[in-house]
Amino acid sequence: MWDSRTIALVIPAWEADGTLASVLAAVPPWVDQVFVVDDGSSVPVQAPGDPRVQVLRHRRNRGVGAAIGTGYRAARAAGADIAVVWGADGQMDPEDLPALLQALEEGPADYVKGDRFSHPACPREMPWVRRMGGYGLTFLTRLATGIGDLRDSQCGYTALRLEVLDRIPLPWAYPRYGFPNDLLAMLAGAGCRVAQVTVRPVYRGAPSGILPALALVVYPWILARAALIRFVGGPGKGPRGAGLLRRWVPIRSAG
């Protein structure tokens, strides 16, 4: 419980058997629920002894965005007020969690996004190729979403008020690594308040999940789609906007 709010962690996990145990061991005692979404791992995730932890499993790999969507819905169905996304790879510092939650209340905000680039350790800790790619995608995401002060579009460390799910078309979201960009566009289109908090960049030698082909070919399409979602999927757009989006921008569900 945090400031009378029920807190759930959503942990998308794929082939994370080497790091997941230490990630779960670091969950603060005041977190109420933990939803580990096993996204079709070859070795299924086993539930630990912690009664707060529930393992949800996709029978096949559907993507990190789809796993987050599954976790969001499960957390809301369980009565959580806020869902925080943690990576199963241990790249999110538990000490930054209170700052994300505080920003939801003090903003006030509907969604808080971590910002690694503003942390003084970023030039030392984050590989320069990732920094350059992240800067470029963040710039393009600013244009697509209209969030002019966005600093780190690809950071996965986030906190969401789950009541916001009533206002955005989450099942339309791109189910893989373009999910953060789509979600930001949906939030912007729905008039939701987005805040940002500086978080520590943590890298442990794992390769990036964003392949060059994805960045050069798929991401421009994702960002164009995100811009369309922003304009036709927000409040007051109604069923006509939803129908246009589904007709002209077909996607697989992230749910």
Domain ranges of the chain: 7-243
Residue where the block lists tokens 């989006």: 245
Task: Tell me the pLDDT of the chain (255 aa) as tens digits.
Answer: 888 999 999 999 999 988 999 999 999 999 999 999 999 999 999 988 899 999 999 999 999 999 999 999 999 999 999 999 999 999 999 999 999 999 999 989 999 999 999 999 999 988 888 888 889 889 999 988 889 999 999 999 999 999 999 998 898 888 988 899 989 988 988 889 999 999 999 876 555 555 555 566 677 877 887 777 777 654 444 434 444 444 444 444 444
Q: Do the Cβ atoms of 12 and 39 come closer than 8 Å?
A: yes
In the CATH hierarchy, which top-level class contains the domain 7-243? alpha beta
How many other CB atoms sit within 10 Å of the CB of residue 81? Answer: 19
Q: What is the pTM of this model?
A: 0.88
Strands 82-85 and 158-161: what pairing?
antiparallel
Residue 120: both structure tokens together: 């003084």
Using the Cα atoms of residue 243, residue 236, residue 5 and residue 84 in order, give the sign of their dihedral.
positive
